[in-house]
């Protein structure tokens, strides 16, 4: 009997599987479903070990449905009723224009998804999706460079304040001061103020601002005028007041390393030294005898109408915001989501539930308070707890202001302006805030720019519109031989080819990131990429060529099929002579851009002001040494060359390098001329600048 039982166990193990200890090993869910002949839905049955269990056998690919063929838990297709155009558009997340795709029955079709209600425009941020379109004045720099995205600008907005729903001011970088009259935005200049970081007012004709200058400016309802000049050693951080003759400024005197409270009594400013060497960054009060200043390392000071005194906050975290609704209800918040509340007797910690830093506070009531900050953070207090609210952005929110529970405004990085209507936050500024990595212009005024997340933006001569790329990869470069023959390269070996409207993937045979494209004709296109990668298109397929380097290659350009240059990290410069690549030069810093206008002549740019010219014999450094980190170069002729750095636009006329006013746009990455008088620049944060003169 013992031998017979062992034999039965052996057979069992052969069938169901046993471990060394002769215990049954349960099959995985995939094997369970396959053995039962099921491929969708939740299936119950007995597994290989005789145990009852349930497993998720997956889902079906439309138009098939689970059980649709008449067999339970098996994908199949019965009679399919095509969805309506409305349902088709809704399922694809589209609400305007003509949309092509596959319907619920697996049939390719196109549908009219409708139109947008002005001021929204179709495709302003996402293809075939309505988005807000800014219609105010275009903001331009002194050398003719103007903002085309985001609008009204991509500069950071540091402060927002309003006297009424039709009288709102926003202040920020690069002389930026905008006014909303309830219908449109208008742009104003304030002397030579480059950076405006704070704004506060009592009425439409009594507003104060300050920034990177040693002067407070005042608006009297007609014009801005200087009211107080500070010593150069005093830095101003914030302003608030209870009346026309009672205005306070949080400041810091770097000469004596001490916080300062500046006060305006309606006739003159006075300075009160506070007993701390910590910088106080924000000021707010409920009245003339109840004012708070908060700042670094948990420092809080209070004004009781007679003197300033320190108050324990219970934390050493840096505060960056303070606001409240009354003497017994004030909030202070700052780094890493720190939040404390004043109840009239003491400050106590309250969990914000956030880890991002908080930069702004505003409340309509004790049970209706807002906090905002880094990475699009938006929090709401309902009187019991803080909860996260979708802001619709990942940009930093730097200031808040409101008039009622259903009328709150926010401002922040990359030109961000938001409005809360009581149910959702909506962008008031327009245009996508993505990193645009390259720009290329075709004929007839058509321009394309590509960026992260598969984003393609097309200029049709009048406006920018998003184009569906069919890819989610970061797109790094675009080049075409014409409007109907355009290549796009991106991360993870992504290559797209199209006619400017429709794009299809092309096999690159690599998983490396692709950084730059250039070609001499439809059958002669080069692509530079990660780890020394050089790909070539011969009109039929892409093939890889040995470059002799493992450094990342960042730029490519040539004057013809037998004269092509590539540049990359560690200063490497490569040259193609029609048959092979060779290392031509190696500079002392990373190189990013190259341009060539004829055989035997090329220009290259890189970090730390590296701008070199190859004259056919030797490399020559051009221009004075400077700290600019150049990112791209393009020429129209050898004495008409444009170069961009992270924040700089420069022009070389063959003899002199002149820096242009770039509207202080930061993160510039690519430049391309439509013509000698029409030049485009793109960059991170959705930057699109144009000089058309």
CATH of domain 436-692: 2.130.10.10
Q: For residue 650, what are the contacts with CB-CB under 8 A and spacing of at least 6? A: 628, 642, 643, 644, 657, 658, 659, 660
Give the CA-trace dihedral at 350, 353, 358, 361, to 10 degrees: -60
pLDDT at 345: 97
Average pLDDT over residues 427-440: 92
Closest CA to 358 of 342, 371, 340, 376: 371
Cα maximum dimension of the chain: 113
Distances (CA, A) of 248 to 6, 243, 278, 284, 288: 93, 10, 18, 9, 10
Q: For residue 472, what pLDDT band results from cuts at 50, 70 and 90?
A: very high
Q: Tokens 């740019």 belong to which residue?
A: 605
Comparing C-alpha atoms, which of 517, 548, 518, 543 is closest to residue 531? 548
Confidence of residue 429 (pLDDT cuts 50, 70, 90): confident
**Do 221-427 and 436-692 come out as alike in CATH topology?**
yes
- Delimit the domains of the chain by residue range: 24-61, 157-220, 221-427, 436-692
pLDDT at 678 over 70: yes
Closest by CA to 238, choosing from 276, 279, 268, is: 279
Look at 126-135, 351-360, 593-602 and tell me which has the smallest mean pLDDT: 126-135
Binned at pLDDT 50, 70 and 90, residue 4 comes out as very low
Return d(Cα 212, Cα 40) in angstroms, integer: 64
594-621: average pLDDT: 93
**Comparing 109-123, 285-299, 533-547, 663-677, which segment has the lowest mean pLDDT?**
109-123
Q: Examine the pLDDT at 8 and tell me if it is beyond 60.
A: no
Say what percent of the chain tops pLDDT 70: 94
From the CA atom positions of the chain, what is the Rg in Å?
31
Q: How confident is the model at residue 13, as a pLDDT?
A: 43
Report H helices in 430-569.
none
What rounded mean pLDDT belongs to the chain?
91
Is residue 85 within a helix (H) or strand (E), and if so which, with residue range?
helix 85-91
pLDDT average, residue stretch 597-619: 93
The larger pLDDT score, comparing residue 212 to residue 577, is at: 577
Nearest to 580 by CA among 615, 534, 616, 619: 534
Quick one: how far is CA 494 from the chain centroid?
A: 21
Whether 666 has a pLDDT exceeding 80, the answer reads yes
CA–CA dist 449, 490 (Å, integer)? 13
Distance of alpha carbon 654 from alpha carbon 672, whole angstroms: 19
Q: What gap in Å lies between CA 469 and CA 137, rounded to an integer?
A: 31
Contact 108, 100 (CB under 8 A): yes
pLDDT at 542 over 60: yes
pLDDT at residue 469 is higher than 60: yes
pLDDT at 496 over 80: yes
Query: Mean pLDDT across the stretch 493-521?
Result: 95
- The pLDDT of 219-243, averaged and rounded, is 86
Residues 549-566: what's their mean pLDDT?
A: 97
From 60-64, 317-321, 487-491, the region with the lowest mean pLDDT: 60-64
Q: Is pLDDT at 540 greater than 70 in this prediction?
A: yes
pLDDT at 434 over 60: yes
Q: Tell me which of 106 and 400 has the higher pLDDT.
A: 400
Joined tokens for residue 558: 């040539």
Least confident of 168-182, 278-292, 546-560: 168-182
In which element (H, E) is residue 612 found?
A: strand 611-614
How buried is 240 (Cβ within 10 angstroms: 0-12 exposed, 13-18 middle, 19+ buried)? buried
Please list, in sequence order, all residues whose beta carbon lies within 8 angstroms of the beta carbon of residue 442, skipping any fewer than 6 positions away.
448, 480, 482, 483, 486, 500
In the numeric block, which tokens belong to residue 136? 């105010």
* Higher pLDDT pick, 235 / 314: 314
Indicate if the pLDDT at residue 6 is higher than 50. no
**Which pLDDT does position 413 carry in this prediction?**
92
Mean pLDDT is lowest, of 121-125, 274-278, 337-341, 507-511, for 121-125
The answer to whether residues 130 and 95 touch, using CB atoms and an 8 Å cutoff, is yes
pLDDT at 18 over 60: no
The span from the CA of 11 to the CA of 9, in Å, is 5
Residue 689, pLDDT > 60, answer yes
CATH assignment of 221-427?
Answer: 2.130.10.10
How many Å apart are CA 538 and CA 524, to the nearest integer?
Answer: 5
Per-residue tokens: 403: 């008039």
CA–CA distance, 209 with 226 (Å, rounded to integer): 10
What's the pLDDT at 213? 61
pLDDT score of 179 more than 70 = yes
Please tell me the predicted confidence (pLDDT) of residue 59.
92
- Is residue 322 within 8 A of residue 298, CB to CB? The reply is no
Query: What's the CA gap between 174 and 187, in Å, rounded?
Result: 12
- pLDDT at 353 > cutoff 50: yes
pLDDT for residue 10 = 37
Burial 488-507 (b: 16+ CB within 10 A, else e): bbbbebbbbbbebeebeebe
Confidence at residue 546, expressed as pLDDT on a 0 to 100 scale: 96
Burial 14-31 (b: 16+ CB within 10 A, else e): eeeebeeeeebeebebee
- The residues with which 604 forms a beta bridge, in sequence order, are 594, 612
Question: Does residue 1 surpass a pLDDT of 70?
Answer: no
Give dist(CA 639, CA 642) in Å, integer: 10
Does residue 135 register a pLDDT over 80? no
Residue 204: the pLDDT is 95
Q: What is the pLDDT of residue 96?
A: 92
Cβ(85)–Cβ(96) under 8 Å? no
Q: Which of 437, 389, 382, 392 is nearest to 412 (CA)?
A: 392
Overall average pLDDT of the 315-339 stretch: 98
- 74 CB contacts (<8 Å, ≥6 apart)? 37, 38, 39, 40, 66, 67
SS3 9: helix
> Residue 613: is it exposed, middle or buried by C-beta count within 10 angstroms (0-12/13-18/19+)?
middle
Residues 128, 131, 135, 136: is their CA dihedral positive or negative? Answer: negative
Instruction: Report the pLDDT averaged over residues 656-664.
Output: 88
At residue 209 the predicted structure's pLDDT band, cuts being 50, 70 and 90, is: very high
Beginning with the edge strand found earlier in the chain, give each strand of the sheet holding 572-576 in spatial order: 553-560, 563-568, 572-576, 581-586
SS (HEC) of 626-653: CCCCEEEEEEEECCEEEEEECCCEEEEC
Judge whether residue 361 has pLDDT over 90: yes
CA dihedral of 675, 677, 682, 688, whole degrees rounded to 10: -120
User: Is the pLDDT confidence value at 589 over 80?
Assistant: yes
Q: Contact at 8 Å (CB) between 66 and 59?
A: yes
Are the C-beta atoms of 376 and 397 separated by less than 8 Å? yes
- Residue 20: pLDDT over 50: no
Q: Give the pLDDT mean for 290-295.
A: 98
* Percent of the chain whose predicted confidence (pLDDT) is above 90: 73
pLDDT at 571 over 80: yes
| Mean pLDDT for the stretch of residues 399-422 | 95
For residues 152-174, average pLDDT: 91
């Amino acid at each position: 009997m013992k031998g017979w039982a062992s034999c039965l166990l052996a057979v069992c193990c052969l069938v169901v599987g046993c471990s060394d200890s002769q215990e049954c090993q349960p099959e995985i869910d995939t094997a369970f479903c396959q053995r039962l002949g099921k491929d969708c839905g939740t299936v119950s049955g007995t597994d290989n070990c005789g145990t009852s269990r349930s497993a998720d056998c997956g889902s079906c690919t439309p138009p098939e449905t689970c059980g649709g063929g008449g067999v339970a838990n098996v994908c199949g297709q019965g009679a399919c009723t095509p969805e309506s155009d409305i349902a088709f558009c809704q399922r694809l997340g589209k609400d305007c224009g003509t949309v092509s795709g596959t319907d619920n029955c697996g049939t390719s079709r196109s549908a009219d998804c409708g139109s947008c209600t002005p001021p929204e425009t179709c495709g302003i941020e996402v293809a075939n999706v309505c988005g807000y379109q800014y219609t105010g004045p275009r903001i331009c720099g002194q050398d003719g460079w103007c903002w085309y995205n985001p609008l009204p600008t991509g500069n950071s907005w540091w402060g927002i304040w309003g006297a009424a729903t039709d009288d709102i001011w926003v202040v920020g970088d690069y002389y930026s001061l905008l006014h909303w009259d309830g219908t449109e935005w208008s742009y104003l200049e304030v002397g030579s103020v480059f950076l405006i970081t704070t704004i506060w007012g009592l009425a439409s004709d009594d507003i104060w601002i300050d920034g990177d200058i040693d002067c407070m400016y005042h608006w009297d309802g007609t014009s801005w005028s200087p009211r107080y000049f500070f010593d150069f050693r005093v830095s101003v951080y914030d302003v608030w007041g209870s009346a026309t003759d009672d205005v306070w400024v949080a400041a810091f005197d770097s000469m004596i390393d001490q916080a300062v409270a500046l006060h305006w009594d309606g006739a003159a400013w006075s300075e009160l030294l506070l007993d701390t060497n910590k910088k106080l960054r924000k000021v707010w009060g409920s009245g003339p005898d109840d004012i708070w200043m908060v700042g670094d390392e948990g420092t809080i000071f209070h004004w009781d109408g007679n003197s300033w005194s320190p108050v324990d906050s219970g934390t050493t975290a840096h505060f960056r915001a303070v606001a409240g609704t009354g003497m017994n209800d004030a909030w202070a918040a700052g780094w890493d989501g720190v939040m404390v509340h004043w109840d009239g007797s003491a400050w106590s910690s309250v969990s914000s539930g956030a880890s991002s830093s908080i930069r702004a506070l505003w409340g309509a009531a004790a049970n209706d308070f807002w906090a905002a900050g880094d990475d699009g953070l938006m929090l709401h207090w309902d009187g019991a707890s803080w909860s996260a609210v979708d802001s619709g952005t990942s940009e930093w929110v730097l200031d808040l202001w409101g008039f009622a529970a259903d009328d709150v405004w926010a401002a922040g990085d990359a030109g961000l302006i938001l409005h809360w209507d009581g149910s959702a936050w909506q962008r008031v500024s327009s245009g996508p805030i993505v990193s645009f990595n390259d720009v290329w212009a075709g004929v007839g005024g058509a321009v394309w720019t590509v960026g992260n997340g598969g984003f393609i933006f097309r200029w049709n001569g009048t406006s920018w519109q998003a184009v569906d790329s069919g890819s989610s990869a970061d797109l790094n470069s675009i080049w075409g031989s014409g409007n109907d023959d355009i290549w796009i390269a991106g991360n993870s070996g992504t290559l797209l080819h199209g006619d400017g409207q429709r794009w299809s993937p092309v096999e690159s045979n690599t998983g490396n990131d692709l950084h730059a494209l250039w070609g001499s004709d439809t059958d002669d296109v080069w692509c530079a990429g990660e780890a020394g990668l050089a790909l070539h298109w011969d009109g039929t397929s892409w093939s890889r060529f040995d470059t002799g380097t493992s450094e990342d290659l960042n730029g490519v350009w040539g004057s013809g099929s037998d004269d092509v240059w590539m540049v990359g990290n560690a200063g490497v410069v490569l040259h193609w002579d029609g048959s092979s690549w060779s290392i031509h030069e190696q500079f002392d810093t990373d190189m990013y851009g190259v341009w060539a206008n004829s055989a035997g002549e090329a220009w290259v740019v890189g970090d730390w002001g590296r701008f070199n010219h190859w004259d056919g014999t030797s490399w020559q450094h051009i221009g004075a040494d400077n700290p600019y980190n150049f990112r791209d170069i393009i020429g129209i002729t050898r004495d008409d060359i444009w170069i961009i750095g992270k924040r700089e636009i420069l022009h070389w006329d063959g003899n002199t390098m002149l820096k242009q006013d770039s509207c202080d746009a930061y993160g510039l990455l690519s430049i391309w001329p439509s013509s000698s008088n029409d030049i485009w620049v793109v960059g991170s944060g959705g930057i699109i600048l144009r000089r058309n003169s």
